[in-house]
């Protein structure tokens, strides 16, 4: 997409919402927006970019529509204990959408998705179905490894993360039954096939010292290492003696 060309997204959405004939073909939309012929190609590229982010949606016939005009809502998945979820809408003016576990498709907790609203129960949140995942929140997961007869699998420590993840034989690394492991998700699956992954790190049995802490760190995507600048500053601070007359108390040898 050309850097010098850009139509404000709000202007594109306004034109789509004002259409009396429903979703619009790109050329019709370009005419309404008075796009010059020389800018049509970058305009199409901008539409594809907006579609990829869920800002607009392309329906049958290559026509574009504003999501809210065809009962679509963008938002982030927030799974509850039952396995069902609420889609926390990006637009603060839109209600959160309730989605049953069987209608989440391959979406997991924290993913950004597009959901189609299918009905509005009286006095309750609208109910919908996930039709597209825009952004994955968790490329890795932490769970307990189990070995089956033909395939291994991990049970996520955080049950909000969704179903068990299959680990094909050969991708289990050094993991043994009951080990807490970090996996990379290699496939998010499909409606009739669960996600699969590959063991990247074995943390050890949950009862071993430090495994609980490591599982929390990796589960939240936290690094075990500090940037060089931080390491250097910490080392410099550790080497500074407490001078006579200094009011500070040296507590570096105390166990916290």
Tell me the pLDDT tens digit for each residue of 138-154. Answer: 999 999 999 988 889 99
Q: Sketch out the chain's domains with CATH numbers.
A: 9-56 (no CATH), 69-135 (2.40.50.140), 140-219 (2.40.50.700)
Please spell the DSSP secondary structure of 14-78, one letter per residue: HHHHH-TTSSB-HHHHHHHTT--GGGHHHHHHHHHHHHHTTSSEE-GGG-EE-GGGGTEEEEEEE
What global pTM score does this model have? 0.74
Query: What are 170-223's pLDDT values in tens digits?
Result: 999 999 999 999 999 999 987 677 899 999 999 999 888 889 898 888 888 776
**Residue 3: pLDDT band with limits 50, 70, 90:** low
Those residues whose C-beta lies under 8 Å from the C-beta of residue 37, and which sit 6 or more positions away, are: none
Those residues whose C-beta lies under 8 Å from the C-beta of residue 164, and which sit 6 or more positions away, are: 143, 153, 154, 155, 156, 194
Q: Check: CB of residue 112 under 8 Å from CB of residue 76.
A: yes
Q: Check: CB of residue 44 under 8 Å from CB of residue 52.
A: no
**Residue 245: pLDDT band with limits 50, 70, 90:** low
Cα 17–chain centre separation? 28
Residue 166 clears pLDDT 80, i.e. is over it? yes
Those residues whose C-beta lies under 8 Å from the C-beta of residue 168, and which sit 6 or more positions away, are: 151, 152, 196
Cα torsion through 29, 7, 41, 34, rounded to 10? 50
Residue 104 clears pLDDT 90, i.e. is over it? yes
- Mean pLDDT in residue range 100-117: 93
């Amino acid at each position: 997409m050309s850097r010098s060309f850009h139509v404000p997204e709000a202007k594109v959405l306004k034109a789509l919402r004002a259409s009396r004939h429903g979703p619009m073909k790109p050329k019709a939309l370009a005419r309404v927006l008075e796009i010059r012929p020389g800018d049509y190609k970058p305009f199409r590229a901008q539409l594809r970019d907006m579609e990829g982010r869920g800002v607009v949606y392309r329906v049958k016939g290559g026509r574009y529509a504003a999501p809210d005009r065809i009962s679509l809502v963008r938002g982030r998945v927030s799974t509850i204990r039952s396995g069902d979820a609420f889609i926390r809408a990006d637009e603060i003016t839109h209600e959160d959408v309730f989605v049953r576990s069987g209608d989440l498709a391959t979406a997991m907790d924290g993913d950004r998705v597009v959901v189609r609203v299918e009905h509005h129960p009286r006095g309750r949140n609208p109910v919908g179905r996930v039709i597209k995942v825009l952004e994955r929140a968790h490329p890795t997961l932490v769970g307990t490894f189990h070995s089956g007869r033909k395939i291994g699998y991990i049970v996520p420590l955080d049950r909000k993360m969704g179903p068990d993840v299959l680990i094909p034989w050969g991708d289990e690394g050094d993991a043994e039954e009951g080990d807490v492991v970090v996996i990379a998700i290699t496939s998010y699956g499909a409606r009739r096939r669960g996600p699969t992954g590959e063991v990247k790190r074995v943390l050890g049995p949950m009862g071993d010292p430090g495994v609980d802490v490591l599982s929390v760190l990796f589960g939240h995507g936290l690094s075990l290492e500090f940037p060089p600048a931080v390491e250097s500053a910490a080392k410099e601070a550790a080497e500074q003696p407490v001078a006579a007359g200094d009011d500070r108390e040296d507590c570096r040898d105390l166990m916290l």
